[in-house]
Amino acid sequence: MNYKKTVSFLVKLIVFISVFFILKFIFNEYKAYNLPYGKKANEIRISANIPTIKSLMYSKNVNKKLLGNQWVSIRKEPKKGEVLHIWKLAIPEDKSGVLYEEKDAFRKMEENGKIYQLNLNTIVENDIIMEQDAILFETESSNENRKEISGVELKTLIAKWKILELK
């Protein structure tokens, strides 16, 4: 009989803890949804050719005292030939939520199994890209193999990886 009470208590505890974390996640997503520079600003991002916050991304932790928020993908590794948007950091210009700085990370797995990551930095003013550069590297290599990319070379890579077409 004591065994049944213990098991019952543990099941109730596990259910309580699970419900707590689910509610915390839902509340955090609600706060992130209301950020003016969050998913609500995706239409602006589309018109400015900036990668959007994808539907399968969730907010890391909304902190109203700090400007900016990070969204991460539920997946961390792409499939062969796939490009995956693994995270986005949006930092608004001020409390109004006007887009200013966007940082994105994408991963692509080549057919040989190597995974490359592109860290894209974008500065926006009046919904127009003012400055954009990136760092490309193989995820399993050392820091020595990082390549800084900008200009036409970056635009070509963005088009080749179809970054602006990702859903």
Percent of the chain topping pLDDT 90? 53
In percent, the amount of the chain with pLDDT more than 70 equals: 95
Summarised one tens digit per residue, pLDDT across range 113-152 is 899 999 999 999 988 999 999 999 998 876 678 999 999 9
* Domain boundaries of the chain, sorted by first residue: 34-165
Confidence of residue 101 (pLDDT cuts 50, 70, 90): very high
Q: Please give the full DSSP string across the chain, using - where no structure is assigned.
A: -HHHHHHHHHHHHHHHHHHHHHHHHHHHHHHHHT-TTTGGGHHHHHHTT-PPPPTTEEES---TTSS-EEEEES--SPPBT-EEEEEEEEEESSTT--EEEEEEEEEEE-TTS-EEEEEEEEEEETTEEEEEEEEEEETTS-GGG-EEEEHHHHHHHHHHHTGGG--
What are 44-70's pLDDT values in tens digits? 999 999 999 998 899 887 776 677 899
Please tell me which residue, 102 or 64, carries the higher pLDDT value.
102
Report the pLDDT value the prediction gives residue 2, as an integer from 0 to 100: 82
